[in-house]
Structure 1
Amino acid sequence: MSQLFTPTTLGPLQLKNRIAIAPMCQYSATAGLPTDWHMIHLGNLALSGAALLILEATAVSPEGRISPQDLGLWSDEHRQALQPIVAAVRKYSPIKLAVQIAHAGRKASSAVPWEGGANIKLDAGGWQTVAPSAVPHAEGETVPIALDEAGLAKVKQDFVMAARRVHELGIEAIELHGAHGYLLHQFLSPLSNQREDRYGGSLENRMRFPLEVFEAVRAAVPREVAVGMRISASDWVEGGWDVEQSVVLANELKKLGTDFMHVSSGGVSPRQKIPVGPNYQIGFAERIRRETGLPTIGVGLITEAEQAEAIVAQGQADMVALARGILYDPRWPWHAAAQLGAQVDAPPQYWRCQPHEQKQLFGETRLGQR
């Protein structure tokens, strides 16, 4: 039996298989509100056969957006605008949903990737960024304002309110974005956090604010909502955040009730040197899983069915998450199930498409012959 297509759980969240769709920014919102693009994009992915679909990094405040076109959840208007999309997914797919709530910190106020992705200066329509310290991400970018006590309290409350709106939408899971050089990661890394108060310096201090945010979010929603965090397990820069510190953080999150760890890497410094290749981040997920006992989601150039099967079967991660690969092949789980002799969910409108030699792929034999 394929291990990739066996059930698993992330805390209270029960999943039919071990395939997740990672959050992928679409940079297609208007003032944080979803557009028709989100309906067709998420609707397409919802029919993939994956067990879990994590919505893109969704800003908890306007200043927390990466770009002016980021999706947001900082008001009830934003929640209401997402409701029809969630309803459409629910109507036609059994896939479980999560939202990655995020604040970009000093990496906010950036152009969309297809326009270069550069920092948008204040005099060019950008906005003032905030961060743990007044240190820009790269030379020449907007210098962020170091968050004071009032600023920290606002960020925490913004996360809490966004989490409550996720729950009000009836979505099953929340993922805090603590990776890729965004605000929570900026607090964790000594490369970006140069504070001299109780939120900077030692590992305990650098973890303090991300842990406070997680604890507040966990308390803001019922236990039946799974809550986890995505982290960058390494900055890939000497003297930066690393996997040893990530294990400590994961154990602290475990004490606060985290249901899963989604393990990525990089993003906090332009000096990073990442040895990109198949499974290049899976070792981080494996170590965190082994040393904490927490369910982990592994990512990183996972493209082949046998590759994903081996990751799960060998206990390197509880789930694999696909990003660019599932944009390229939105039916990747179907094809993986066919290769591994497993079954996958598909809408009845598509049952007749399965190849004759894979007629049990969808687990349905009552197919019309007309």
Structure 2
Amino acid sequence: MTTSTAFPHLFDSLTIGPLSLRNRTILAPMCMYSITEHDGVPGSWHQVHLGARAAGGFGMVVAEATAVSPEARISPADVGLWNDTQRDAWAPIVETIRSYGALPAVQLAHAGAKASTEPGLPGYTGASVGIDDDGWQTVSPSGINPVSGLAETRELSTEQVRQVVADFVDAARRADEAGFEAVMIHAAHGYLIHQFLSPVTNQRTDEYGGSVENRTRLLREILAEVRAVWPAEKILGLRISGSDYVEGSWSLDDSAELIAGLVDTPQARAQYGLDWVDVSSGGIGDTYRGPSGPGYQLHLAERIHRVAEATRDSERPLTVSAVGIITEPGQAQQIVLSGQADAVSIGRAALADPNWPARASVELRPNSEIPFPPQYHRAQRAL
């Protein structure tokens, strides 16, 4: 990690893998549920939404959970990267993000048993969408739903699990062709990879179930095979649920052990090529039993950040970002300054204010260059 001072400022540049961000603010991936044709092809909404946050000063802009296959979508209204039409539609959006100074990234995802649900928008309940209503048969490690109330899900065969790996690889290849400079593998929030990690939802008896080594195998295979096709000069990232806060499910100790195994030797770093981890939580179980309030997931990121410290002297140290009700500039700055994380992912606050980084820079580093397009220079005195 390269910084301009002994203690990093939120608006110091940040090196992740081989690339540099202009600052340490990241637009968190947030589903927009805006594909009215249900074909997974992004459109003008995504161009405006993501472009506005790039113009607003974020160091990295991460496009929402993007399905690696049709059945991987959370809802019929999700975006995808399972075909070339989608790839070609992403390309101008990626260029828009880059043109405004942000690094363009995409989260690749498979919803598993939590797929084929109603869009997470006002007026919907989040219930399963029936096959006769443009829904589909969902899949999972063991035919077990991570939350109650969803439609019955089907257990994947061993061959089908390997096809999931291939789908992630194909989507990553298309992400590269579209011009994205970072991919984030979504292994959090009770979606398919997370369903494999948790012994609550993974009760398989083949090489993908049982021991921790087996339950993490799918994720490790995806990382290794994506890294093999993802250019070395680009960033490979991962989002995890640091803990489910559910007895007998995925825990913070499990997360720390997983990340250590991915980065603690030169051989592991070469095999998996992991550059960045974004630490969230939850997704398995009906009731969230963890902490709440501003920065409620920081203790999880801080633990993973301590694991990452072992890589600091390596050629490509692991970067850790924190996420979860980080809304105030001073709060974000303290997270970075105190060493709880290297960067912050901003979600809800960025929906309310696409110029969150520009406003934060005025508060935290007055009289310095504001990450704002020159066309907006007259707004600077209003920030």
TM-score range, shorter chain: over 0.9
Further displaced range: 135-144 or 301-310: 135-144
| Residues 1:278 and 2:294 are matched in the alignment | yes
Say whether 1:204 aligns with 2:213: yes
Q: Secondary structure at the match of 1:355?
A: helix
1:331: which partner in 2? Answer: 355
Asked if 2 retains the 8 angstrom alpha-carbon contact of 1:179 and 1:266, the reply is yes
Question: 1:168 pairs with 170, 177, 180, which one?
Answer: 177
> 2:32 maps to what in 1?
26
Which residues in structure 2 correspond to 1:52-63 (within 5 Å)?
52-63=60-71
**Of 250, 258, 266, the match for 2:282:** 266
Deviation at 1:105, TM superposition (A): 0.4
Match of 1:368 in 2: none
Equivalent positions of 1:1-370 (< 5 A) are 3-29=9-35, 30=37, 31-91=39-99, 93-114=100-121, 115-254=124-263, 255=268, 256-293=272-309, 294-341=318-365, 342-355=368-381
Superposed CA deviations along residues 121-165 of structure 1, whole A, max 9, x for unmatched, are: 334432001111111233442222111122112111110010011
Q: 1:71 Cα deviation (Å)?
A: 0.5
Shift of 1:6: 0.8
Q: Which amino acid aligns with 2:380?
A: Q
5+ long unaligned stretches in structure 1: 359-370
The separation in 2 between residues aligned to 1:323 and 1:228, in whole angstroms, is 17
Deviations 1:229-267 (A, max 9, x none): 000010111111011000111122222220011100001
Give the Cα separation in 2 of the matches to 1:13 and 1:270. Answer: 39
2:114/2:150 contact within 8 Å kept: no
Once the two structures are superposed, what CA deviation does each residue of 1:279-330 show, in whole Å capped at 9, x if it has no partner?
1111111111112323101011111111001000000000000001111111
- The 2-side partners of 1:108 and 1:89 are apart by 28
Q: Give, as a single letter, the amino acid of the residue that structure 1 aligns with 2:227.
A: R
Q: Distance in 1 between matches of 2:16 and 2:294?
A: 25
The 1-side partners of 2:26 and 2:293 are apart by 20
Tell me, in whole angstroms, the C-alpha distance in 1 between the residues paired with 2:170 and 2:220: 17
**In the aligned structure 1, how far is the partner of 2:24 from the partner of 2:93?**
24
Q: CA deviation at 1:169?
A: 1.5
Change (3 A) 1:138 1:282: closer
Letter of the 2:59 counterpart: A
Task: Decide which moves more: 191-200 or 140-149.
Answer: 140-149
Change over 3 Å in CA distance of 1:85–1:11 after alignment to 2: same
Please say if residues 95 and 179 of structure 2, whose CA atoms lie closer than 8 Å, have aligned partners that are also in contact.
no
SS of match in other structure, 1:217 = helix
Separation in structure 2 between the aligned mates of residue 65 and residue 328 of structure 1, nearest angstrom: 26
State the secondary structure of the residue aligned to 2:199: coil
Per-residue deviation, residues 325-359 of structure 1 (Å, max 9, x unmatched): 11111111111111112533211111122118x8x
Q: Normalising by structure 2, what TM-score?
A: 0.90
Is the Cα–Cα contact under 8 Å of residues 110 and 120 in structure 1 kept in the other structure? yes
One-letter amino acid of the structure 1 residue matched with residue 84 of structure 2? D
- Quickly say closer, same or farther: Cα 1:139–1:339, change in 2 above 3 A: closer
Q: For residue 170 of structure 2, give the secondary structure of its aligned residue in structure 1.
A: helix
Deviations 1:1-28 (A, max 9, x none): 7711111111112111110000000001
Q: Which amino acid aligns with 2:236?
A: V
Contact (CA 8 Å) 1:247, 1:291: kept in 2 or not?
yes
Structure-1-length-normalised TM-score = 0.93
3-state SS of the aligned residue for 1:174? strand
Matched-pair identity in %:
48
Give me the whole-angstrom Cα distance separating, in 1, the residues matched to 2:255 and 2:147: 24
**Which residue does the alignment assign to 1:363?**
none
Report the Cα distance in structure 1 between the residues aligned to 2:29 and 2:250, rounded to whole angstroms.
22
Query: How far apart in 1 are the matches of 2:378 and 2:149?
Result: 56
Alpha-carbon distance in 2 for matches of 1:287, 1:139: 30
Q: What is the CA deviation profile of residues 70-108 of structure 1, one whole-angstrom value per residue up to 9, with x for unaligned ones? A: 0000001110111222233333x0110111000000000
For each residue in 1:6-56, what CA deviation from the matched residue of structure 2 results, as whole angstroms up to 9, or x when unmatched?
Answer: 111111121111100000000012310012211111121111111000000
Identify the residue that residue 364 of structure 1 maps to in structure 2.
none
Listed as ranges, the gaps of 5+ residues in structure 2 are 310-317
8 Å CA contact 1:5, 1:343 repeated in 2 = no
